[in-house]
Structures are given as C-alpha cells and as structure tokens.
Structure 1
C-alpha cells in the first residue's frame, strides 16, 4: 500500500496547477543561485531577442539606431519580467534578529 505522505511516481501535480517562476521554489522563497541565473537569462535573452528584431528593422528600413533601441528595450523588459516574477526582491526576514543599522538613540552600541 502506498504511503499518502509520500508523492507517487506519477505526476502528483494537479492538471492546471500553477507553477512558480524560474529560480523560485514551490514555497515561494527565492532560490539564490537559481534566481540569479534566471534574472541573468531574462536580461541577456531580452537583449539578444530585441537586438535581433532591431537589426532586422534596421536592415529593412535602412537605419542604424534601432538595434541599440532594441537592446535597451530588451534589457529593461528582462529586468521587468524578473521583477514581476519576484526574482529581484530583497530577501525576506524569517524572524531572526538582525543588528540595527546605525547607532542607537542614546549613542551607545547596539548590543543589549
């Protein structure tokens, strides 16, 4: 008999279940290295794709500046996608106590 706590070999995901963004684990926390690689690939991929589109438009229209506008648009678009997928947000505080930034109000150290 199968243990209900362990996932089976078959796809345990429900059909139509929403998956997380690249670099984000299933529990919603960022993936460190994986999140960084996802941000990098979004930005570099955007630059490459939109530069090629700009290069093609430059060729068709006989201009020389659209490729640069495409590269800029690709970089901004890649960063926007990364931000919308939650890959560029700051780390979430899990409740552990961190040192305060700057001196305390009485001028002493931050130690208690």
Structure 2
C-alpha cells in the first residue's frame, strides 16, 4: 500500500505549474536558484545539441562553418526558451520598488497627474 493511502492525507504533487520551466515550483514565483539553473541548462544544452548537429553536417558536407552556426543557433534557442518560460523577465519583490518608479497609480488611487 502506498504512503499516501496509509496516512490518509494527500501528498502534494511535484508538478511545475502552468507556464513555468521544469524544476521551477509554482509556489516560489521568484524563481531564484532553480530558475537560474533552468536558464543555464537551456542555453548550454542548446549550444551542445546544435553544435553536435552542425558538426555532423560539417563532416557530411565537408564544410567547417556549420558547427559555429549551430552553436549560435543553440544559444539563441536557449535564450528564446528561457524567455518563453518566463525565466528571464524582471520581477520586483514584494514591497520593493525601484527609486523613481512613477508607473502606477498613487496611494490615493489617482492617476499620476501633477
């Protein structure tokens, strides 16, 4: 019998939530270390995979430049995936705003008209 059935309580699933990268929990929306590792793995993984594809095409066609194009394509693809998963967006932490931030309504809910 599984541990969940014996204890009578539900065990939270380890799903990553909607729209986030694998390994980045939905509860911790600031990302942090996991988001950084996801960005790193997307970029390095893209470079490695597309460089190997370029290396194979170079050997097949007798060229020497496709491996470099593959590495650049892999890096761009890694940045693209990171951006699409929301890992590279700027997020303010709760209660902290940048100095001179006049982008929202004032405390009395009026617009920023002066």
Whether TM exceeds 0.5 here: the answer is: yes
- Offset from partner CA, 1:40-97 (integer Å, 9 cap, x none): 0000000000000000000000000000000000000000000000000011453x25
State the shift of 1:31 in Å.
1.9
Residue 101 of structure 1 pairs with residue 100 of structure 2: yes
Q: 1:25 to 1:52 in 2, by over 3 A?
A: same
Residue 87 of structure 1 pairs with residue 87 of structure 2: yes
Q: 1:85 to 1:40 in 2, by over 3 A?
A: same
TM-score (norm 1): 0.68
Superposed CA RMSD in Å reads 2.6
Which residue of 2 is the match for residue 109 of structure 1? Answer: none
Q: How does 1:4-23 map to 2 (within 5 A)?
A: 7-8=10-11, 20-23=20-23
CA distance in 1, matches of 2:48, 2:32: 24
Contact 2:51 2:71 in 1 (8 A): yes
Q: How does 1:1-112 map to 2 (within 5 A)?
A: 2=8, 7-8=10-11, 20-27=20-27, 29-94=29-94, 96-98=95-97, 100-101=99-100
Which residue of 1 is the match for residue 104 of structure 2? Answer: none
Contact 1:53 1:70 in 2 (8 A): yes
State the shift of 1:30 in Å.
3.2
TM-score (norm 2): 0.67
